Amino acid sequence: MAALAVLADDYDLCARDYCGRMTWRTADIPDLTGRRALVTGATSGLGYQTALELLKHGAEVLIAARNPVKAATVADELAAAGPRPEVVDLDLADLDSVEKAAKTVAENHDRLDLLVNNADVMATPYLATAQGFELQLGTNHLGHFALTARLMPLLEKAPEPRVVTVSSFMHKTVRGLDQGDFRAAKGYRKWEAYSKSKLANLLFMAELDRRAKAARSPLVSVGAHPGYASTHLQTHGPELAGNAFEARMWGGINRLVAQSAAAGAWPSLYAATLPALPSGSYVGRGFFEFRGAPKIVRPAGPARDPELARRLWAWSVEATGVDAF
> Residue 65: which H helix or E strand, with range?
strand 60-65
Mean pLDDT of 84-89: 98
The whole-number pLDDT of residue 265 equals 93
Q: Is the pLDDT of residue 5 over 90?
A: no
Sorted by where each starts, the structural domains of the chain and their CATH numbers stand as: 2-318 (3.40.50.720)
Mean pLDDT of 121-131: 96
Over the Cα atoms of the chain, what is R_g? 18
User: Residue 10: which pLDDT band, with cuts at 50, 70 and 90?
Assistant: very low
Nearest alpha carbon to residue 250 among 225, 264, 233, 262: 233
Mean pLDDT of 3-22: 36
Q: Is the pLDDT of residue 250 over 60?
A: no
Q: Is the pLDDT of residue 149 over 80?
A: yes
Q: Is the pLDDT of residue 77 over 70?
A: yes
The whole-number pLDDT of residue 15 equals 32
Sequence-distant (6+) residues with CB within 8 A of 124 are 135, 136, 190, 236, 237, 240, 241
194, 228, 270, 282: the active-site residue? 194
- More confident call, 113 vs 251: 113
Give per-residue pLDDT as tens, 13-26: 333 333 434 468 89
The whole-number pLDDT of residue 255 equals 52
Q: Is the pLDDT of residue 235 over 50?
A: no
- Which strands sit side by side in the sheet containing 86-89, from one edge to the other? 86-89, 60-65, 36-40, 114-117, 162-166, 220-224, 282-287, 291-296
Mean pLDDT of 230-244: 55
The whole-number pLDDT of residue 309 equals 98
Q: Is the pLDDT of residue 292 over 90?
A: no
* Model confidence, pTM: 0.86
- More confident call, 232 vs 58: 58
Cα 306 vs. chain centroid, distance in angstroms?
A: 20
The whole-number pLDDT of residue 144 equals 98
The whole-number pLDDT of residue 185 equals 82
Sequence-distant (6+) residues with CB within 8 A of 276 are none
Q: What is the mean pLDDT of the chain?
A: 87
User: Residue 258: which pLDDT band, with cuts at 50, 70 and 90?
Assistant: low
Mean pLDDT of 136-142: 98
The whole-number pLDDT of residue 60 equals 98
DSSP 95-123: HHHHHHHHHHHHHH-S--SEEEE-----S
Give per-residue pLDDT as tens, 175-226: 999 999 999 888 999 999 999 999 999 999 999 999 999 999 999 999 999 9
Nearest alpha carbon to residue 225 among 293, 168, 295: 168
To the query of whether residue 194 is one of the catalytic residues in this protein, the response is: yes
